[in-house]
Amino acid sequence: MAPLAFLLDILFADPRLPWPHPVTLAGRLLRLMEYPARRLERRGRGRLAGFVSVLLLACCAGGAVRLLVALPLAGPALALYFSWAGLALGCLLRTGAEAAREVETSPLPAARRAVSLLVSRDVSALDRPLLAKTLADTLSENFTDAFLAPYFWLLAAGPVGLWCYKAVSTADSMWGYTTEHWLLLGWAGARGDDALAFVPARLSVVVLWLTDRISLLFGLGRPWRGRWPGFRRVARQARGMPSPNSGLPMAACAWLCAGRMAGPSVYFGALVDKPWLGPPEGEAGPRWDAARLAALGALLRRAGFVACGLCSALYFFYF
């Protein structure tokens, strides 16, 4: 079921359906939990309130999926739907390509608006090259969050495990910021997402390296044009990032695409001093543009197929 869900995601992304997407429902439920959580936070129990909220959200998501996939007749179809809906590589690549076109051809305000829909950082003062770099950052980082981590948990624990992970990831996306407003309430979601994506983030580096090697071996072409610096150098660069996971796929993609990523960025009005990832400035190629973003998209698309094959082979080998 997992490879079929991946193919549906790559081919159709998230089509318009008569019902809300499950992530939307999870987000609505989390918003309903915020009021009682804030009351508990005012009593000095902010981290506890965040932990209870994330736990309840994960239990509700996993429990609802468990009940639905157990239905007679409709259960297998619902299991496939929830597996498909939990993967977002197709949507990420499609939305990223649309944003790249906006950055390349649209007026600057429209380009900033397109990129702002994909990132949480402030893009109001960015020029086109920095908008393109920011887009490259989020596409690379979300290779783990949008695809590899959900696929990993789908294989490990089925649609129920996938949606327990997606619940925690949704909590991190909505509450997991380091601002004063979310610092305590979002702690559990952020740390939970870090823990659940720890193995998939490291697997992403192997997948990206393997994608590059397979492309060379079979003569498939390498539009990304960069070089592989070695696992140690990728890991060393990634350790400087605030997140224990996000820097790994970003550093790997930056080296393979011969373009720099990360660097100082503004989040919610505060400057976050992130390290530069990828080759040194003298070794890096030209700035990020539409062609280089297209090469990054090709790398991530192929990496999705490699990850699907690798994870499925490991699953059948061990289980």
Higher pLDDT, 264 or 20: 20
Give 269's pLDDT tier (boundaries 50, 70, 90): low
Helices and strands in the chain, H and E counts? 13, 4
E strand spans, the chain: 261-262, 265-267, 270-272, 276-277
Q: Do residues 141 and 121 make contact, with C-beta atoms less than 8 angstroms apart?
A: no
Q: Do residues 204 and 144 make contact, with C-beta atoms less than 8 angstroms apart?
A: yes
The b/e string for 244-279 (b: 16+ C-beta within 10 A; e otherwise) is bbbbbbbbbbbbbbbbbbbbebebeeeeeebbbbbb
Cα distances (angstroms) measured from residue 276 to each of 195, 213, 246, 255, 309: 24, 25, 13, 11, 31
Q: Name the residue among 249, 242, 251, 264 with its Cα closest to residue 122.
A: 264
Give 39's pLDDT tier (boundaries 50, 70, 90): very high
Predicted confidence at residue 14, as pLDDT, reads: 87
Q: What is the mean pLDDT of residues 235-252?
A: 93
Predicted confidence at residue 316, as pLDDT, reads: 79
Q: Which of 9-18, 41-50, 215-224, 280-289 has the lowest mean pLDDT?
A: 280-289
Where in the chain are the domains? 2-318
- The tokens for 142 are 């979300």
Higher pLDDT, 69 or 267: 69
Q: Do residues 149 and 243 make contact, with C-beta atoms less than 8 angstroms apart?
A: no
Q: Do residues 98 and 295 make contact, with C-beta atoms less than 8 angstroms apart?
A: no
CA distance 135 to 123: 11
- The tokens for 119 are 């990132």
CA distance 209 to 214: 9
Q: Name the residue among 108, 102, 139 with its Cα closest to residue 124.
A: 108
User: pLDDT (tens digit, 9 = 90+) per residue, 66-94?
Assistant: 999 999 999 999 999 999 999 999 999 99
